A and B are shown apart, each in its own frame.
Chain A
Amino acid sequence: MIQVKNISKHYDETEALKNVSLHVERGELFGLIGPDGAGKTTLMRILMTLLLADSGEAKMDGLDVVKNFKKIRNIVGYMPGRFSLYQDLSVEENLNFFATVFGTTVEENYELIRDIYYQIEPFKTRRAGKLSGGMKQKLALSCALIHKPKILVLDEPTTGVDAVSRKEFWEMLKKLQKQDITIMVSTPYMDEANLCDRVALIQNGQILDVDSPQNITSKFPKKIIRVRSQEMFRLINDLRAFEKTESAFAFGQFVHFTGKNNAVESAELKEYLEKLNHKSILAEEVEPDIEDVFMSMQEQSQ
């Protein structure tokens, strides 16, 4: 449904995208996972026909993003990272406006947005600029869906959003996916990768990997040992000072440790920490998560 082949784009001296290739299948929920400045927005804007690539090709539902840009605009819905509705129009007026621009009516596609829109419908006469963050997000999503797009592209819809609202937002996306909409969504939250069918890990304009979240973590070659003791700050520093340490990073209540050449066992680590007088030591091997993989790839690519 989305094909990207060798796309590069630069701004002045910054190479925003370096020879990026990927594809998204019809009906997939596809994640672009990477920090600010990775190139996520640039890629999305090229796919939305809002920006020209320097080189390479991209197709949306078989349509070329340069030659067929007008046709593409009718079949895609886009929710940019920055709130881009009309602040001085009401909720209802915004929705009607977008429906009219796409030659349809709110009634015609109401079914698609009902679950989302009913939550803001009580405020339909309020100006969009006066809505709370969560309500703005729901309105923006309703407007992006009102012409029943085949492909929905969402640029960091959950950035700065609390954990509860983030969860609800992903539940909405899962529902939309069932209505035969292909979804590409970007996020800087690594834990959201697990909610996608497949993801591209992206950093400094380069794709580090494209695969299902399960495959990305299961093919990770390094052994992760999670460690904790009573003094977390000292623990991190002591682990970093250990000669056999490759990396030691805080992961919530644990420190995730990797040893040089994968050659450190948890028993050895425990012994080292006991010598340093750490109390209540726990050291056990765990499955890596996406963030472990991303951080390891990031260190390698630098």
Chain B
Amino acid sequence: MEKIITVNNLVKKFGSFTANDNLTFDVYKGEIFGFLGANGAGKTTAIRILCGLSSPTSGEVKVAGFDIYRETEKIKKNIGYMSQKFSLYEDLTVAENIRLYAGIYGISPKKRKEKMAELLQKLEMESAKNKLIAGLPLGWKQKLAFSVAIFHEPKIVFLDEPTGGVDPVTRRKFWDLIYEAANNGITVFVTTHYMDEAEYCDRVSIMNAGKIEALDTPEELKKRYNAKNMDEVFLKIAR
């Protein structure tokens, strides 16, 4: 299988504090990779490095074939990012947000128009095109934020707790979108606190105190830790 992210002996220190302690792992093209860990385990630090927003203290990292030290701009063009906290501009309309992101990623106006029409139709949001983000239901915002994050057809999309707070039906519909993206060959790198969602990932890594304690398919992890679900696996590792 083709590797889309390779991480070798990644270390990140803040003063005397080691946030990422010698991480080594690969992510394969088209897989849904769950990146789990307790609050403060070092997930956000690692994601920021993978997105080219922060430099490691040491170690070797390649994302979409590009070097994390020298080619961060190329990395940024080839990835998408969505977080629960920040994803869309609340005081811009739906169409304005799409235009803004398309512009940032250098998509031509012609292609943008085509894709926008297609996207709004798929999301059943044509009637909301000129509405401000601020007034939309949270479930809509999340669907749109995800679609905007992959609008430039990146190789990898990073999702940082994308489903926090939404109702159970919307949460599952969001995962339908994730599956679809993965089926289209986009690699999905996702963090979540919902342990049932860990089961939906192809492989899952679990971090604790800066280290990756376990990395495997949900099936294998449950076997190894003699647990009936991922919640139990997580509690055994992170407690």
Contacts and interface: CB of A to CB of B under 8 A. Distances in A.
B193 interface: yes
A133 B39 contact: yes
Contacts of A80: none
> Which of A190, A250, A294 has the most CB atoms of chain B within a 10 A radius of its CB?
A250
A165 B138 contact: no
B100 to A, nearest CB: 24
Interface in B185-239: 193-196, 199-200, 218, 229-231, 234-235, 238-239
B172 A252 contact: no
B37 A34 contact: no
Interface string B135-168: 0011000000000000000000000010011111
Given A35-B138, A164-B238, A250 B165 contact: no
B106 interface: no
A156 to B, nearest CB: 8
B173 to A, nearest CB: 9
Given A35-B165, A295-B169, A233 B238 contact: no
B14 to A, nearest CB: 13
A163 B169 contact: no
B162 to A, nearest CB: 12
A232 B218 CA distance: 13
Nearest to A38: B167
A99 to B, nearest CB: 28
A164 B234 contact: yes
A203 interface: yes
B8 interface: no
Contact of A159 (B164, B168, B183): B164
B238 A35 contact: no
A121 B218 CA distance: 38
Nearest to A250: B172
Contact of B238 (A132, A162, A203): A162
Interface in B17-40: 37-40
A69 interface: no
B101 interface: no
A51 B165 CA distance: 23
Contacts of B168: 35, 190, 249, 291, 294-295, 298
Contacts of B138: 35-37
A253 B235 contact: no
B200 A162 contact: no
Interface in B166-185: 166-170, 172, 175-176, 179, 183
A132 B231 CA distance: 23
Interface in B67-113: 84
A217 B230 CA distance: 23
A188 B172 contact: no
Given A133-B39, A134-B39, A232 B169 contact: no
Interface of B: 37-41, 84, 137-138, 161, 164-170, 172, 175-176, 179, 183, 193-196, 199-200, 218, 229-231, 234-235, 238-239
7 contacts: A162-B41, A165-B38, A189-B194, A190-B168, A249-B169, A252-B195, A252-B196
